[in-house]
Amino acid sequence: DRIIQRGHYTEMKAAGLTRTIVGVVEACHSLGVMHRDLKPENFLFVDQREDSLLKTIDFGLSMFFKPGDKFTDVVGSP
């Protein structure tokens, strides 16, 4: 919620958040997991500190995959 509430970030802060989010996607994919519902609401800060860890939540639509698998379904939640 803090990501949405804040609205605007400096370029440096936005780059840091983006780096973290891409790292999460990379880690999931390396384990064969596709989240399939990435959106700001599914990333939460652990606490109110400015340097708080960012956690990924809501893996309800996620699925396991193997390299070479092809997917055509459009998924996600509003």
Q: For the chain, give every domain's residue range.
A: 2-64
Mean pLDDT of all residues in 27-37: 97
Phi and psi for 34 in degrees, rounded to 5? Answer: -110, 120
- Paired sense of beta strands 63-64 and 43-45, if any: unpaired
Tokens of 2: 């803090």
37 is catalytic: yes
pLDDT tens sequence across 33-44: 999 999 989 999
Is the predicted pLDDT of residue 5 greater than 90, yes or no?
A: no
Q: Which of 37, 58, 69, 73 is catalytic?
A: 37
Q: Which amino acid is at 22?
A: V
Q: Tell me the pTM.
A: 0.80
Task: For residues 23 and 30, give the distance between their C-alpha atoms in angstroms, rounded to a whole number.
Answer: 10
Q: Are 9 and 43 in contact (CB under 8 A)?
A: no
